[in-house]
């Protein structure tokens, strides 16, 4: 590595169900905001990397990155799309980061996007369902059912209360209520979570992230240009088939990617002031906090209950509402995490600002924990 | 750039219509061959980059790279899929190249793959059709119709004979006849091309590449390990909407990517001993040879007629059969070009070996010339 990579601009669309706007329009809105925020003009962009999971299947559209460059008349040297299922956004950040590290690009525009509305629901469910290992898919196991099994195992093994899961959703909704870009901007209480329809016992509807449309963008530049330093971006694959894991409560790829990131950033767990984790299901927030070493195994369930992961707690988690309340447009999520962390580290997260936020961590997960990308930023 | 990037192993499947083998099995066959050729074990691979255009749409499958890593039990640090429509393969090579340049990876496995058989034909046609600009797509213009319009304009402007197009197909079929991995391993004559059904006047069926299934793989390593040097990989976007181009006979992105590659490689056109160009339609081979600077505008049409681009000519083009005869599994093509060039530069292309081949060039095109990736190799 020759020099630091920095963030000089971020922007995103509101995350919502929005069948009207095209995927290109979603990208354009996020890009306009990020370029404006960075004070970078279209002609300065030297590479474009789009993180997107399934536009071909959802929208019959490939070549998103070229389509975006064409809209702006951009002529950057390198334009591509990166896919790593639900971690496509963070993989695109990593791809742009390496473009800068390699010396090939000096202003990399990263855009995460997904348009899930207006899609044939059976087809969307089928494509999302096939994120899991093909042998497990053949048995009918889905992401929610894996999450339900893990939640059940966790609560039993650690003698934890189902209320612990509810409080993760309650916290993230409370945060989302203060985020104008969040899909759900209203507070809920634990009773509402527990009265919502059962999805995969013990998980209920309000334990699960929604289907969303949206885009988020980040401008990465060389040292001395931006205001937020990307101290590390690292990725790791884990065991794809859940049945092959030694422990059903481990999300090893998150732990591995996290450890590499901490090593590269030369940072300690206690340095982290704010984290955005991949709470596609409430149980995942708990498992990831343990896997990343913020909590000992079997102890993170209590964190949302006691307020430790709330905005005023020791380790505020998902201040933007997380996947649960901000929404989860698949390929956009990993980029939106970096947008939120940037706002937090700049002190711009009005209404949900974490105090004294200097170091932020994001973790974006693919499949049911088969691949993870971890990013550490500092102001 | 700190050191050279080299190719230490290549491999591919036969390209054919093959609805039976899964996309993962196709990748596995190519990877086994490339790793074996490189003498690299699974545990040595530090990053995996899959080039694929549309597995979500064709096969309802995302996360190909993680799926592949899981099959081998690989635990490389970075695993992702790259998409750039029909140039996805070469974009994956560029992505792996940058991973090495950035110092993040020292053994990058690149796999290009597409499975087009067993796909709902209407859906496949629709997804491929949408490679063109959305406004042009709305008017019903398709890749073959653009190619037909360009061919017609070319023949008229340069007072060239339709036979010139036929001879490109004849040459590439003659080459494919000596390639055990080619989809069409039989020679044809110009009369057969001209008697084939009309697709988009003046282009006929035998002017067009087929639908194919297949995979190709390349192992990139640091200096001193491999036997072929990657002297440059460069990419460039061009004008997306064909109607916005100043000249309908220009494929500017190919020229730009080519110029950058020649500059980076510090090579001249006359240094190139063998080239693999993107002959999705016969007219494209001609246009690209002119755009890359091998021929003056309006003169390349004669090259196949006179044998200049044949195996014994001054500049042998598409010795493996090109997209026309080897086949065109979209995301696999850009990688297959590099596999063929490697065989040529090593002197391993039995039955179709170009003599004294020391420098090779590959050009892989997205859309109808909206993005191109150019690679220059030397032995």
Provide the 10 A C-beta neighbour count for residue A135.
12
The confidence score (pLDDT) of residue B124 equals 82
Chain B residues with beta carbon closer than 8 angstroms to that of A127: 56, 60-62
Cβ neighbours, 10 Å, residue B55: 28
Q: Which residue of A has its CA nearest to B46?
A: A236
Could you give the CA distance from residue A49 to residue A377 in angstroms, rounded to a whole number? 20
Q: How many Cβ atoms sit within 10 Å of the Cβ of residue B222?
A: 19
pLDDT of A267: 97
Whole-number pLDDT of residue A1: 42
pLDDT at A43: 94
Average pLDDT per consecutive 10 residues, chain A (379 residues; last block may be shorter)? 83 94 96 97 96 92 95 92 98 96 94 91 86 91 95 98 97 98 98 98 98 97 89 95 93 96 97 98 98 98 96 98 98 98 97 97 97 97
Closest-CA distance of chain A to residue B137, Å: 11
Cβ within 8 Å, pair A75-B1:
no
- Please tell me the predicted confidence (pLDDT) of residue A124: 82
CB contacts of B60 in chain A (<8 Å) are 57, 123, 126-127, 130
Closest residue, chain A, to B48 (C-alpha): A237
Give the per-residue pLDDT at A96: 97
List chain B pLDDT tens, one digit each, 379 residues.
Answer: 447 899 999 999 999 998 899 999 999 999 999 999 999 999 999 999 999 999 999 988 999 999 999 999 998 889 999 999 999 999 999 999 999 999 999 999 999 999 999 887 778 888 999 999 989 999 999 999 999 999 999 999 999 999 999 999 999 999 999 999 999 999 999 999 999 999 999 999 999 999 999 999 999 998 788 899 999 999 999 999 999 999 999 999 999 999 999 999 999 999 999 999 999 999 999 999 999 999 999 999 999 999 999 999 999 999 999 999 999 999 999 999 999 999 999 999 999 999 999 999 999 999 999 999 999 999 9
Beta strands in chain A (DSSP E): 5-12, 47-51, 78-83, 107-114, 198-200, 203-204, 214-222, 228-237, 274-276, 359-366, 371-378
Is residue A109 within 8 A of residue A123, CB to CB? The reply is no
What tokens were used for A10? 């971020």
- Report the C-alpha gap between A39 and A219 in whole angstroms: 10
- In this complex, is the C-beta atom of A195 within 8 Å of any C-beta atom belonging to chain B? no
User: Measured between alpha carbons, how far is residue A171 from residues A12, A161, A305, A320 in Å?
Assistant: 22, 16, 9, 10
Predicted local distance difference test score (pLDDT) of residue A72: 95
User: Alpha-carbon distance B189 to B206, whole Å?
Assistant: 10
A251 close to A284: Cβ distance less than 8 angstroms: yes
What does the pLDDT read at residue A19? Answer: 86
Q: Is A346 in contact with A273 (CB distance < 8 Å)?
A: no
Separation in Å, CA of B350 to nearest CA in chain A: 35
Name the helix (H) or strand (E) containing A337: helix A330-346
In our burial notation (b when 16+ CB lie closer than 10 A, e otherwise), range A221-257 reads bbeebbebbbbbbbbbbbbbebeebeeebbbbbbbbb
Secondary structure element (H or E) that encloses residue B199, with its range: strand B198-200
Q: Judging by DSSP bridges, how do beta strands B107-115 and B213-222 pair with one another? A: antiparallel
Strands (E), A183-291: 198-200, 203-204, 214-222, 228-237, 274-276
A220 touches chain B (CB under 8 A): no
Contact in structure between A371 and A87 (CB atoms under 8 Å) = yes
The alpha carbon of A12 is separated from its chain's Cα centroid by a whole number of angstroms, namely 13
Q: What is the pTM of this model?
A: 0.97
CB-CB neighbors (< 8 A) of A94 in chain B: 78, 80
Q: Which residues in chain B are contacts of A367 at CB distance < 8 A?
A: 63, 66
Judge whether A165 is closer than 8 Å to chain B, CB to CB.
no
Q: Which residues of A342-353 are buried (b: 16+ CB within 10 A; e: fewer)?
A: bbbbbeebeebb
Element (H, E) at A16: none
Place of tokens 């299922």: A85
Residue with tokens 């081998």: B72
**DSSP 3-state of B157:** helix
The pLDDT assigned to A125 comes to 85
pLDDT confidence of residue B253 = 96
What does the alpha-carbon distance between residue A270 and residue A262 come to, in Å, rounded to a whole number?
Answer: 11
* Nearest CA distance, B328 vs chain A (angstrom): 17
Contact with chain A for residue B119, Cβ under 8 A: no
């Amino acid at each position: 590595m020759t020099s630091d990579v920095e963030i000089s601009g971020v922007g995103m669309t509101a995350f919502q169900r929005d069948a009207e706007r095209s995927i290109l329009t979603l990208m354009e809105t996020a890009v306009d905001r990020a370029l404006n925020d960075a004070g970078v003009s279209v002609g300065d962009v030297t590479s474009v990397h789009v993180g997107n999971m399934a536009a071909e299947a959802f929208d019959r559209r490939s070549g998103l990155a070229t389509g975006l460059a064409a809209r702006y008349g951009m002529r950057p040297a390198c334009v591509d799309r990166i896919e790593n299922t639900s971690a496509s956004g963070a993989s695109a950040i990593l791809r742009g980061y390496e473009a800068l590290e390699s010396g090939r690009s000096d202003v990399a525009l990263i855009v995460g996007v997904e348009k899930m509305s207006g899609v044939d629901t059976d087809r969307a469910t089928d494509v999302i369902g096939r994120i899991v290992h093909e042998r497990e898919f053949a048995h009918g196991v889905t992401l929610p059912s894996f999450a339900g099994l893990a939640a059940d195992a966790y609560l039993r093994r650690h003698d934890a209360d189902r209320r612990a899961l509810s409080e993760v959703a309650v916290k993230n909704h409370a945060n989302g209520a203060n985020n104008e870009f969040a899909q759900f901007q209203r507070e809920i209480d634990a009773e509402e979570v527990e009265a919502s329809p059962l999805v995969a016992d013990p998980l209920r509807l309000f334990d699960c992230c929604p289907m969303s449309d949206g885009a988020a963008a980040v401008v990465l530049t060389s040292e001395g240009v931006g205001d937020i330093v990307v101290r590390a971006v690292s990725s790791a694959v884990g065991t794809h088939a859940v049945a092959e894991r030694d422990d059903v409560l481990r999300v090893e790829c998150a732990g591995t990617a996290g450890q590499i990131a901490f090593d590269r950033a030369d940072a300690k767990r206690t340095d982290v002031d704010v984290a955005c984790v991949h709470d596609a299901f409430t149980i995942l927030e708990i498992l990831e906090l343990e896997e990343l070493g913020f909590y000992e195994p079997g102890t993170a369930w209590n964190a949302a209950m006691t307020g430790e992961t709330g905005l005023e707690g020791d380790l505020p988690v998902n201040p933007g509402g997380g996947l649960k309340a901000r929404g989860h447009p698949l390929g956009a999520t990993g980029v939106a995490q970096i947008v939120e962390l940037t706002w937090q580290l700049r002190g711009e997260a009005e209404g949900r600002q974490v105090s004294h936020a200097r170091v932020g961590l994001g973790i974006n997960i693919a499949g049911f924990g088969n691949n993870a990308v971890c990013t550490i930023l500092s102001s």
